Every structure is written in structure tokens, then in C-alpha cells.
Amino acid sequence: MSPLITTAELAGLLDGPLDSRPTVLDVRWRLAGPPGVESFRAGHIPSAVFADLDTALAAPPGEGGRHPLPEPAALQEALRLAGVDEGRLVVAYDDADSSVAARAWWLLRWAGHAEVAVLDGGFAAWEAEGRPVTTEEEVPSPGNIVVRPGGMPVLNADEAAELARDGVLLDARAPERYAGETEPVDPRAGHIPGARNAPFSAHSGADGHWHAPEVLAQHFASLGVGATTPVGAYCGSGVTASSVVLALEIAGHPAPASLYTGSWSHWSRDPERPAATGHEPG
């Protein structure tokens, strides 16, 4: 199925028969600022359930990084509480660039749930089109999803380092963080030697909609990604890099890209691991 769904398609499904309506996850989140749940309570897509990145879509921060993969049992419990059923479509959205929605998409795919899509344009597009918004918080019936880890490829630190030399490892952070000019969050500045900068902001336009497949394909080709190129992605904590994986799928890349789930927040914790600086891979 397509990894994206339009606002019109989602609206049609929500107006359709009850047994065929998707589960909608509101995953709004900000690195700094008010919690996303406050935005959810101020207004959200009808029937949407809030899923918190920090507590539902990630394990607690620690040695594994700032947003490590949740334990399968914990993820299964969180998804069931959100009403996620086996075989039922899940639609995720946020109110920014869809990178957090991409994390939800990736995590569900990793968990073995293929029926998942990101709302193209997110909440901003939904609201701009005058579609219904509610402050009512529904309590969904418990879902029956079974989390089966391994549906998407992951990298550990050593594998990421190897891929940076033998394939293409894409760093989804902003250029200034990639170059080591600033590091507001993690222990050290810089990037994994050999990694190429591919800011996640390049995946969508000013209106929040994802670029067309051919535009994304050209973008990744300029970064050295070919049809048979082993490719992986990382970012600060494994969240925005999920949008690289999603963008590659939209672009028609034949195999899912691997995700270094610990990302720079994991890599930079170990002083023995090298850090390159500057705007070249190093």
C-alpha cells in the first residue's frame, strides 16, 4: 500500500462504514516547547487517539540513546490501548513536517503491521481545508495487534560505521549539526565519518506536503543512492531519520533503507567512536 494518504482519502474513510474506518494516531511532538498532548486537546481529527513519542513510541532514554526502540511488549500494550487492530489501517499525523508521523509509520512497519500510512500535509493541511476538528477525546476499544519485531531493517553502531564506508549512510540532521558547528542536545558535535548529509527538511515543501516521487528520487540520486545501493539513515535520536526511510519508499527505492535507531544520541555517548566535522563526509 502507499505510505501516504491524502486528507480527502482519510476523510472518506472516516465517513465510511464503522468496521472499515482506520485508527488515527495524533503524534504531535516538539523537541522544545509545550507537550504535543496540549495541541491534541486543543483540537484534533475526529476519532484520533494521542500517542506520545516519548512514552508510547520509544523506550526511556539511556544507553541506547534519546529515543531507543521500545520493548515489543510495551509497544504492543501502547498500540492496543490506542485501538490498533491486526489488519486495520493506521494513519499517523503530526502538525509539522511529518517526521514524527514517519516514526510512527516506521515503528508499526518494524512491528510487522503493514497497513499504515502518513497523512500527507498533516494536521495543518486537514485544518486548512476546513475539515472537522474536535476536542472530544474518545476512548477506543482495545486493539488486538500482535507486535512482531523485525519488519524493517535496523543498524547498530558498528553496522552504521561500515555502511558509511561500503554503501550510503544518510544523516538527516540540519547541516549545522552535521558539520559539528552546533550541538544543542547530544554529548558531542559532528557526524559519523563517511555519512552524507541529507536533511529531512528536503522531503517536503513549505506547505508540509511531501514532494512527488520523481523529485525525491532525483534528490536521493544526487546523494549517491542507486537502485542497488545499500542505504541507511540516522539523525539525532532515530526519529527524523524515519522520514528518510519513508521518503526513499515514496521515491520508489526497491528495498527499505536501514535505520540506525540509536543514531547520534547513541553514537556520541562513546568517546571511542570517531566524529567527523565539516560539510564533507570525512
Q: What single DSSP character describes residue 230?
A: -
CA distance 249 to 243: 10
Beta strands at 168-171 and 49-50: parallel, antiparallel or unpaired: unpaired
CA distance 239 to 263: 9
CB 118 within 8 A of CB 101: yes
The neighbouring-strand residues paired with 171 are 197, 234
Question: How many Cβ atoms sit within 10 Å of the Cβ of residue 71?
Answer: 12
CA distance 58 to 67: 5
The neighbouring-strand residues paired with 231 are 168
* DSSP H or E segment with residue 232: strand 231-234
> Is position 235 annotated as part of the catalytic site?
yes
CB 203 within 8 A of CB 247: yes
| Residue tagged active-site, from 91, 170, 235, 244 | 235
Give the N- to C-terminal CA distance of the chain in Å, as an integer: 38
Q: DSSP 3-state assignment of 208?
A: coil
CA distance 103 to 67: 10
Which among 270, 259, 199 has a CA at the least distance from the CA of 68? 259
CA distance 28 to 40: 7
Which residues are identified as catalytic? Answer: 235
